[in-house]
Copies of this chain bind each other. A is one copy, B any other.
Amino acid sequence: MKTLGTLGEREAIRIIDRIVKSDAEVGIGDDCAAIDMGDRFLLVTTDMMAPKTHIPKGMGPYDIGWSIVAVNLSDIAAMGGRPLAVVTAIGMTRGHPIEYLEQIVDGMNDCARHFDTSIVGGDTKEHEILTLCGTAIGEVARDRILLRKGARPGDLVAISGELGKAGAGYYSLKRKLSLEEAETALKRPRPRLKEAASLADAGFVTSCMDISDGLSSSIFELSRSSGLTYEIDYSRISKAKEVELAFHDLERQKSLVLNFGDDYELLFTVKREAETDLANLASEIGCPLTVIGKVTSGEQNILIDSGKREKLENLGYEHFRSRQS
């Protein structure tokens, strides 16, 4: 009997995509669904989280509340959108203290307010296991929307910020390394809403997604959406300083940077002639926007490391399967 454990999350999503008849202009398979509203799109995304399975130990209720809002806002960012509202559903046991609920809601509210939106409603249900579900609604002008598809061979591949920080925070919590900034990055993800809006306005971005499940996995998702391949230079990736504090071993560092996820940075492609414009935009908005490779029409996704070309492995986090790193 085929179960979800044998298929994995991405295959499950493809099954759903085959069954569901969506009216949306952009449906299942991108960061948000996009619904035609004339000169703009309404963006909708939803994310479920069961802290016991999905959340590292060391995260408190406030962090959990913050995160469920942040990960949904990150999907709005990935489309170049502006958030309009968030709703959240909370499933808790009868035994949960009221203070626990209050702290979750505090975290949700603070995250939403920080990113210029608000929690407008929700649902509270009794559940055997703490479960949160958030849904973010946003909007984007029709001619500004950023999709996972759209890249052309020769386009440059770029990321915002640095990778590996949240992963280093995870190991810091686990092994009590006191890498405080990294731990905060893990506990309080910061969706790149303003940066993504600037990228959408710039006009030279050809595709975009957020890196929730790790760079390698995100590259494979972009590849699936565009039908193209991607060549990434490991040395060009901006790595958080905490990566080498978390691991001395270079292979483990590499795995953290490529496969861990939870950084919620943007992975995007730009027209090949836009490298200077991208650098200018980066200084203008005060956020690193780094070219890490290019779009190709090859056989497979490639990682260049110390001059060696190797096949990029898809080792990002996938639900129904085990964490790799």
Contact = CB atoms under 8 A, between A and B. Distances in A.
A216 to B, nearest CB: 20
A87 B48 CA distance: 12
A287 interface: no
Contact of A94 (B4, B106, B127): B4
Given A35-B84, A126-B9, A4 B46 contact: no
Contact of A124 (B12, B89, B94): B12
A48 B125 CA distance: 7
A85 B5 CA distance: 29
A183 to B, nearest CB: 24
Interface SS majority for chain A: mixed
Given A85-B24, A108-B20, A97 B128 contact: no
Interface string A14-39: 01100111111001101011010000
Given A94-B4, A108-B20, A133-B133, A87 B117 contact: no
A96 interface: yes
A125 to B, nearest CB: 5
Contacts of A24: 85, 118, 120-121
Contacts of A125: 9, 48-50, 54, 319
Contact of A46 (B88, B105, B127, B131): B88
25 contacts: A4-B92, A4-B94, A5-B94, A5-B95, A9-B124, A19-B106, A19-B109, A20-B108, A20-B109, A21-B109, A24-B118, A27-B121, A35-B120, A42-B42, A42-B84, A44-B135, A46-B89, A46-B121, A46-B122, A47-B89, A47-B123, A48-B127, A48-B131, A87-B135, A89-B133
